[in-house]
Amino acid sequence: MAKISSDGHRSFDPNNPSPLETMTAAVSKALDPYGVTTSMLNAQMAWLSHPQELMRAMNGLASDAMALQAHVMRRAIGMPSEDVVTPNEDDTRFTDPIWQDSATWDIVKECYLAFTHRLQDMYFETPGLSDKDRRRAAFWSRKWLNMMAPTNFFWTNPVAMQRFVETEGKSVQEGWHYFMRDAQAKNILMVEQDAFTIGKDLGTTPGKVIFRNHMLELIHYAPTTDKVRATPLLIIMPWINKFYILDLTAKKSMFKYLTDQGFSVFVTSWKNPTADMSGIRFDDYLTDGVDACVKVVNDFCKTPQVNLVGYCIGGTMVATYMAWANRHYGKEMPVANWTLFTSLTDFAHPGDIDVFVDEASIKALEDNMNKKGYLDGNEMATSFRMLRSNSLIWNYWVHSYLLGESLPPFDVLFWNMDTTRMPATMHSWYLRELYLHNNLIKRDHLTIAGEPIDLDRITQPLYAVTAEDDHIAPWKECYRIRKYVNIKAPVRFVLSTSGHILGIVNPLVDPPKRAYWVSEPERNDHWEQWQESAEKKPGTWWEDWTAWLNKRSGKLVEAYPAASRKYPALADAPGTYVLEK
């Protein structure tokens, strides 16, 4: 753009954008704030700018095409032939035998898989782009390719056509009914909205709401043993979803399991924010949320300290609180030990969600939130469903609309659809300070509720649980908490099989469904060193955790009542905030 020099002449300033660049940026912001198409276009331009690399990639594609042609010819004349490309183990789209037994449909499947796998590899290997730009281009191209799968269209899905014949057209009629149902709900449903009732079918562990403020309700679950450990357990649940994920049914309930093991269990149930809470800050979640509950629990039980637990963003908050409280309270620290469930503190590599984290995407979200005062829960849920679009979107598209199947009543999916909103101010800060700038790991860089935050101040013992297939909080990133807490802090680190939810909702079953690895790493141990030394055990880590807690929760005392004179019951569990839509 031109600037005026000292002699009055106009000169070119390369540091300022040209009018064309300014217009292009404005159009991109308006039409594609999340880089859906621009990321792929940038990758394509990068390939065109590197002809030698492009030629090598084209040679690979030509090799695939020749192998595919030979496969097609063998199948066409009835000869046996091994597939050129096989679906990934977690890809269930082509599991029906017809995709293998029928030569025609096998060829359709193989053409699609060969093209998509090669194209995905090219996006991941794009020359001249940063690692993040390559991953973003690959992510969005994968979403487009997933959408265009032959299984998603009636005339290219042999299972759907066969179902149409078998049901004499009823499957399509039912599919249309389910399509209109979802159109009315403005969502592709994974479970019927009336499949369960909270407090009747889910969230049924007996307890009382003993504290309520503008941020949360605090539930104390009724004891099931005559004696309990003296040090109470306070669980800080994520406010991204509702708390009853750990209290789905009696058999799956962590809360019931813990009370049966002789622990006094307190749990947060966060208020679903409305527009008038748009100004609520991360600081408020710490002071009016976590710190307020810690004070109430210690006062209720007449104890100097609690055992503090945090799940997901609740765990990120607990880590922040531990650093804050060690500085704020000093020797009067009100927490004895702490536990993290699938919680990030280092956001350098947060997994696939990273594609939504850059200045343009956050600015677009902020513009959206500023209009309403919050981020709508369905918008956040859609983002997470996009991370696993085949299983969380297109699977339901196919089974509901093309096959005309009713939705099975699955409690975890019902909870997943029971979304909550995010206050605009808090969520903007959270995305910028933690995800975008990764400031939580920087010593004294953040000041929250009047205190500079340094994770190295934390000396209390930590039990950290992660999940092998977690795509929201990747376990290798969660492991890095070992590096940031004080070297004096003992850490027991656990890696469970399964993912972000089922790795935690992991009750005792016989025979065991899952397994876990556990070991106690030193501060400078890399995750590979931990993995080599970790012992693999069958079953759930719940037993290992309760054994760890028992050693750190004091002696057995008479069970605390669910409510008291000073803290009378304000409502029965699961409370009132959890019912807010």
Give the residue numbers annotated as catalytic, written as ranges.
312
Query: Helix axis angle, 51-76 relative to 103-124, nearest 10°?
Result: 170
Distance CA 188, CA 532 (A): 42
Phi-psi bin for 376: left (phi > 0), alpha (psi -120 to 50), beta? Answer: beta
DSSP H/E element including 341 = strand 335-341
Structure tokens at 501: 């939810």
Element (H, E) at 270: strand 265-270
Q: How many CB atoms lie within 10 A of CB 97?
A: 9
CA torsion sign, 96 to 101 to 102 to 104? positive
How would you classify the pairing of strands 2-4 and 10-12?
A: antiparallel
Contact indicator for 310, 318 with CB cutoff of 8 Å: yes
Q: How far apart are CA 504 and CA 339, in angstroms?
A: 12
d(CA 271, CA 408): 29
Q: Using CA atoms, how far apart are residues 8 and 10, in angstroms rounded to an integer?
A: 7
Task: Give the integer Cα–Cα distance in Å for 259 and 196.
Answer: 24
**Alpha helices in 281-358, H assignment, sequence order:** 282-284, 292-301, 313-329
CB 262, CB 547: distance < 8 Å = no
For residue 401, the 8-state DSSP code is I
Could you say which DSSP state residue 346 is in?
Answer: -
Q: Distance (Å, rounded) from C-alpha 44 to C-alpha 32?
A: 17
Return the SS3 of 126.
coil
- Residue 333: name the closest of 464, 194, 487, 489 by CA: 489
**Given phi > 0 = left and psi -120 to 50 = alpha, else beta, which region is 461?**
beta
What residue has token string 């096998």? 106
Element (H, E) at 536: strand 535-538
